[in-house]
Amino acid sequence: MQQSLNPWITSPTTSADADATASAGHVPPAAVISAPLRGMVEPDAADRLSHRTMSGSAALWITGTHGGAGESRIAELLPGARATDHCWPVLQDGSTPRVLMVCRADLRGLTAARSALTQWASGATPEIDLLGLAILADAPGKTPKALRDFAAIVGGGAPRLWTLPWVEAWRHGDNTPPTAREYQRFITDIATLATNNTPRTTH
């Protein structure tokens, strides 16, 4: 069936592209929206994330778009990462922080992520290098189709999108890094992106 491309959704790749990417080390392709857009209207004040001056430094700042997003958990997985406590980071030395947004895959989480991405796309955030959005499963089992579709639309508004499965061990206090393929690929992706010392997405 012929489908028109939604400009908020990452452009599809061919099987040849996918094979080449897999052999070279996978990083999600850049989305159509890779930087703030002129004319984008920022969300209402109640739906915006605040910003906070952060002490110390980090290779990557993890910004959860809502409570329970999993920002602390993801920060523990990634070397040199720190959670921002649901705020946009502002660095004391004036440098541009590299940021990864995270949310849960339920309606509340995806709606919060959409608002945060709209805030970023409107230019209403502090200057940041936004790597993308990681969406963490909110429950065991398969995510309902309606939420998967909504996640694709929301994630298409970020420079990159990762969807990560449920980790049952975390519920029981086991902090061992997940062995699921999606998490291993995600960690590798972030390490690959972190080797680029030049901020890619700023405003």
Banded pLDDT at 124 (limits 50, 70, 90): confident
The model's pLDDT over 127-179, given as tens digits with 9 standing for 90+, comes to: 999 999 999 999 999 999 999 999 999 999 999 999 999 999 998 888 888 99
Write down the pLDDT at residue 46.
Answer: 65
- Section 42-57 average pLDDT: 80
Nearest to 129 by CA among 54, 37, 61: 61
Q: In the predicted model, is pLDDT for residue 6 greater than 50? A: no
pTM to 2 decimals? 0.77
Query: Do residues 139 and 171 touch, judged by C-beta distance below 8 A?
Result: no
The model's pLDDT over 18-43, given as tens digits with 9 standing for 90+, comes to: 444 443 344 544 445 555 555 555 66
- Section 62-87 average pLDDT: 95
Banded pLDDT at 201 (limits 50, 70, 90): very low
The model's pLDDT over 56-70, given as tens digits with 9 standing for 90+, comes to: 899 999 999 999 999
- Section 105-124 average pLDDT: 94
Please name the residues in contact with 165: beta carbons below 8 A apart, sequence gap of 6 or more. Answer: 137, 180, 182, 183
Axis-axis angle for helices 107-121, 145-155 (nearest 10): 10
Q: Which segments of the chain are extended strands (E)?
A: 51-54, 60-64, 81-83, 88-91, 98-104, 129-136, 161-164
